[in-house]
Structure 1
Amino acid sequence: MSEIVIGNRKIGVNHPPLVIAEIGINHEGSIEKAFQMIDDAAKAGCECVKFQTHVIEDEMIPNNVVPGNASESIWDIMKRCALTKEEEKILKEYVESKGMIFLSTPFSRAAAIQLEELGVLAFKIGSGECNNHPLVEHIARYGKPIILSTGMNSIESIRKSVDIIRKYNTPFALMHCTSIYPTPYDKVRLGAIEDLAEAFPGTVLGLSDHSISNYPCFGAVALGARILERHFTSDKTWPGPDIPISMDPTELKELIEGSQAVFQALGGRKTVLAEEQPTIDFAFACVVAIQDIKAGEKLTMENIWVKRPGNGEIKAESFHEILGKRAISDIKKDEQIRWRYLDA
């Protein structure tokens, strides 16, 4: 499973990274804000935006649990931010009209059913549901590509869900994630990408990042990540629990361009490129006379040295090889020395 395909987009180690702008619940229940974020993501050149699908009554019981990045209960937040099925349908059609991929994370069985009825191309499963085996299995049965975030889960825990997904021959990708909001750089742990690669060979990998910059994502590409996800907002002054960890349109554009640049810079071997020859011609040094040398005179450290440009016949690396040889003709100061000027 070296690649997965969502719509017409191939994703894998040999393809440029897919950047997902997670709008999530940053719209705070306002479809107008959602439209604006879709527009801004499209202008930034983004290929994929992701929402969250919350059917509250099927997702959780009434509670007063307050997330670490909020000041109100998760129940109240989701009640306020949940979109209707009709609103999601409108947003999906709008996203696709822009030529982008629409994704959403279902947080319950009812939400997954709703997204399947809307005809989504793939499913994103969040870190909180990574070990929710009934939900993972329900989604895996659809046979559509799954992007599984793995925050708060060990390799052993992840493996159980992977086994469920594989049972249905469903394509999948794994996202390393740290579920701290925001994530300090020293808690991002990019080494976990290598752990996932070792534990699940050939699997498409990515990073769902909650830090406050693009830097970890750039590093992740160098380690093999080919899906990059960060929260996204049009305006960092908007209210919302995820706004402080969200990138704005400028940062999204930089993430897309930067990740593409890192991808293009990968690979290769330490060889001399033909395109380097013009630089070689001026940057390398060759052996030259540093004073007039008469025929029959021996070459010494006092009358020869190495200087630019590098277009001469005897390169600097051969300097010691010709020391002690005798000139068979006169050589002028600053003249590049040729093999025919020297005795055998």
Structure 2
Amino acid sequence: MSNVITIRGRKIGVDYKPLVIPEIGINHEGDMKKAIQMVNDAYEAGAEIVKFQSHIIEDEMIPAAGNVIPGNAKESILEIMSRCALTLEEEKELKQYVESKGMIFLSTPFSRAAANHLESLDVDAYKIGSGECNNYPLIDHIASFGKPIILSTGMNSIESIKKSVEILEKHNVQYALLHCVSMYPTPYDKVKLGAIRDLEQNFPNAVLGLSDHSIGNYTCFGAVPYGARILEKHFTSNKNWPGPDVPISLNPVELEDLIKGTEAIWQSLGGSKEIQREEKVTIDFAYACVVSIKPIKKGDKLSKDNIWVKRPGTGEIKAGDFERILGQTAMENIPVDTQLSWNMVSK
């Protein structure tokens, strides 16, 4: 059996359709009305799950973070997160609302306090972002809860990921590893989908996926044949809304396309080159068979002058046997436009 993780009854692995995670993240900018609208829009697009971020500022960063400006923003990380952080009560309300729609609530804790808060809400699983992939104390703390963990691996080498995986396996938790490139947006030539194979070779117990920051759905579609069964993309209801992640986010129409497209690609994988039973009805009209193209008398030799190949494919002697029948003798009179059978010709 392939590696599988189960979140709220949803099985995720090679044998199951991909799970698309719309990351609302902080695209709500601290506005609950926006957060609810994005949940609704993701649901209407067919999403099974939505992901947020959990920020408890005083446990996550020190005041010096006010001097650090992310590459995809114009204000400090401290200002962004302070403005966008939801209250603990708002996160509780969001979780209840998401689950009332039959969806899975997922969130990324960025601190020990945030992880403890999510655990108090009895979340089903945890997402750990790329920035925390080598935050081994936090990974150890989250893994101690015993819940499934989805870990993004941007900005990390195989060696640093190995230490994280050792922690996850020590706690015997189900886990997935997402290839990720922490560039916003990620140019297509920097996505490097081959890294998914590296993760597969180095971490044979992991479910695999892609957390993608490139524009559009192309790279997620391309990741499915590499074995990715979790596809994570930033999501917004409106690309005109403000927010550092909005420019790389999918809108509802794009999200629906991603969900349908990844499932279609997954369904089409595997198999071998063989004629399928369902192709028979097409064979009947598409194949050509050997037919007479003029009246043939008993004793005549068969040649390209009196036989050829024509549709439909319902005759006994297919076009592939045309050369084999040339030069044989007609054993009976054969009218024009008759499909030949083997008993009409000499052995």
1:9-63 CA distances to partner (integer Å, 9 max, x unpaired)? 1111111111111000000011111011111111112111000011112111223
1:191 corresponds in structure 2 to 194
2:155 corresponds in structure 1 to 152
1:231 corresponds in structure 2 to 234
| 1:219 CA drift (Å) | 1.5
- Measured in 1, the distance between the counterparts of 2:105 and 2:125 equals 9
1:225-251 CA distances to partner (integer Å, 9 max, x unpaired)? 111110010110000000000001111
1:25 corresponds in structure 2 to 26
| 1:255 CA drift (Å) | 1.1
| 1:317 CA drift (Å) | 1.2
2:42 corresponds in structure 1 to 41
1:327 corresponds in structure 2 to 330
1:243 corresponds in structure 2 to 246
| 1:325 CA drift (Å) | 0.5
- Measured in 1, the distance between the counterparts of 2:343 and 2:93 equals 81
1:102-121 CA distances to partner (integer Å, 9 max, x unpaired)? 11101111111111111111
Bigger Cα displacement from structure 2, 262-271 vs 126-135: 262-271
Percent identity between matched residues is 67
| 1:302 CA drift (Å) | 2.2
Residue 209 (str. 1) matches residue 216 (str. 2) = no
| 1:70 CA drift (Å) | 0.7
2:343 corresponds in structure 1 to 340
Letter in 1 for 2:113: A
Residue 174 of structure 1: SS of its match in structure 2? strand
Residue 21 of structure 1: SS of its match in structure 2? strand
1:275-333 CA distances to partner (integer Å, 9 max, x unpaired)? 11110001011111222222211111222211111100111111111111111222222
- Measured in 1, the distance between the counterparts of 2:183 and 2:154 equals 9
- Measured in 1, the distance between the counterparts of 2:52 and 2:92 equals 12
- Measured in 1, the distance between the counterparts of 2:238 and 2:116 equals 32
- Measured in 2, the distance between the counterparts of 1:338 and 1:104 equals 69
Residue 92 of structure 2: SS of its match in structure 1? helix
Letter in 2 for 1:6: I
Residue 116 of structure 2: SS of its match in structure 1? helix
| 1:185 CA drift (Å) | 1.2
- Measured in 1, the distance between the counterparts of 2:143 and 2:205 equals 19
Residue 51 of structure 2: SS of its match in structure 1? strand
- Measured in 2, the distance between the counterparts of 1:330 and 1:186 equals 68
2:298 corresponds in structure 1 to 295
- Measured in 1, the distance between the counterparts of 2:294 and 2:187 equals 62
Please, which runs of 5 or more residues in structure 1 have no aligned partner?
none
RMSD: 1.1
Residue 51 (str. 1) matches residue 52 (str. 2) = yes
- Measured in 1, the distance between the counterparts of 2:87 and 2:318 equals 74
- Measured in 2, the distance between the counterparts of 1:66 and 1:176 equals 24
Letter in 1 for 2:182: S
| 1:202 CA drift (Å) | 3.7
| 1:268 CA drift (Å) | 2.3
- Measured in 2, the distance between the counterparts of 1:326 and 1:35 equals 80
1:251-273 CA distances to partner (integer Å, 9 max, x unpaired)? 11111111111121122222221
Letter in 2 for 1:11: I
Residue 131 of structure 2: SS of its match in structure 1? helix
What TM-score do the two structures reach when normalised by structure 2? 0.97
1:257 corresponds in structure 2 to 260
- Measured in 1, the distance between the counterparts of 2:198 and 2:334 equals 64
- Measured in 2, the distance between the counterparts of 1:27 and 1:343 equals 81
Bigger Cα displacement from structure 2, 26-35 vs 332-341: 332-341
